[in-house]
A and B are shown apart, each in its own frame.
Chain A
Amino acid sequence: KQEVTQIPAALSVPEGENLVLNCSFTDSAIYNLQWFRQDPGKGLTSLLLIQSSQREQTSGRLNASLDKSSGRSTLYIAASQPGDSATYLCAVVQGAQKLVFGQGTRLTINP
């Protein structure tokens, strides 16, 4: 059974810092890996989708990497801003389009 773990569970950093969020998974037989952002009272917003054949994806200040062999992914956020405060979830895509989620990292950016 696939298990996805995110460490740390919560992170608080000053504005302007670069930071890394970690995601690990136990079964490397995945189609893709996806990073989401969750704001209170709102649904999930997809940030980056990494195909299994890719090693990284970039969007603006966000960069996500994928190492299937080691079962790890990282989400790098450059020059953090208070508006980046949210919960970040990673999910691996397995057969039949099923997403298996980690428990999330709650990120707080302090002005």
Chain B
Amino acid sequence: DADVTQTPRNRITKTGKRIMLECSQTKGHDRMYWYRQDPGLGLRLIYYSFDVKDINKGEISDGYSVSRQAQAKFSLSLESAIPNQTALYFCATSDSGLAGGQYYEQYFGPGTRLTVT
């Protein structure tokens, strides 16, 4: 089974609808992240969470909200979807800490393709 899973894998919704994307991980990591990818662009960070009680905005958080229900679960919500939120959404996880400046590698889920019509 995959370590980082995302549901749904594909979703088509209409403008104005509320939608939730879910991410679950079995890696036991403290840190979780949500990114979006647009055609021809790299991934951009939407929100990140360093533990259950810590939520931080990323580069492009407007129009999105998140919920960290448990260490293993991190959900992304679009309160009122709009067409320019059509994108590929990725969840990622990593271990915690910067001991000695060490970087803890991020592990990515398979992505959710969201289309807003």
Task: Establish whether residues B42 and A34, one from each chain, have CB atoms under 8 Å apart when the complex forms.
Answer: no
Residues of the A chain whose Cβ atoms lie less than 8 Å from the Cβ of B44: 101
Write the chain A residue with the least CB distance to B96: A97
Query: Does residue B108 face the partner (Cβ distance < 8 Å to A)?
Result: yes
Contact of A103 with B101 at beta-carbon distance under 8 Å, contacts A43-B110, A97-B106 already known: no
Q: Is A63 among interface residues, defined by CB-CB distance under 8 A?
A: no
Taken together as a complex, chains A and B put the C-alpha atoms of A43 and B6 apart, in Å, by 10
Which chain B residue has the least Cβ–Cβ distance from A4?
A: B42
Given the interface pairs A4-B42, A103-B40, the reply to whether A97 lies near B98 with Cβ below 8 Å is: yes
In the complex the two chains form, is A49's CB within 8 Å of B40's CB?
A: no
Q: Contact at B103–A104, with CB atoms within 8 Å?
A: no
State which of A9, A49, A51, A99 has its C-beta within 8 Å of the C-beta of B45: A99
Is the beta-carbon distance between A91 and B42 smaller than 8 angstroms?
A: yes
For the complex, give the distance between the alpha carbons of A20 and B106 in Å. 24
> In the complex the two chains form, what is the Cα distance from A101 to B108 in whole Å?
14
With both beta carbons as reference points, the residue of chain B lying nearest to A33 in the complex is identified as B103
Q: Within 8 Å of chain B (Cβ to Cβ): is A11? A: no
In which size bucket is the chain B interface?
20 to 34
| CB within 8 Å of B: which A26-43 residues | 31-32, 34, 36, 41-43
Complex formed: what's the CA distance from A21 to B97 in Å? 31
Partner of A98, one of B45, B90, B104: B45
Give bound CA distance, A20 to B107, whole Å: 25
Interface centre among A9, A31, A99 (most CB of B within 10 A): A99
Q: Please name the residue on chain A nearest to B9 by beta carbon.
A: A41
Measured between beta carbons, the chain B residues less than 8 angstroms from A93 are 103
Q: Closest Cβ of chain B: how far from A97's Cβ, in Å?
A: 6
A-B contact pairs, 14 of them (CB 8 A): A41-B110, A41-B111, A43-B108, A44-B90, A45-B108, A46-B106, A51-B103, A91-B42, A97-B31, A97-B94, A97-B103, A99-B106, A101-B44, A104-B42
B-contacting residues of A (Cβ < 8 Å)? 4, 9, 31-32, 34, 36, 41-46, 49, 51, 89, 91, 93, 96-104
B contact set with A: CB distance below 8 Å: 4, 31, 40-45, 48, 56, 58, 90, 94, 98, 101, 103-111
Q: Which 10 interchain pairs have the tightest Cβ spacing?
A: A101-B42, A43-B108, A44-B108, A43-B110, A101-B43, A32-B103, A103-B42, A102-B42, A31-B103, A93-B103
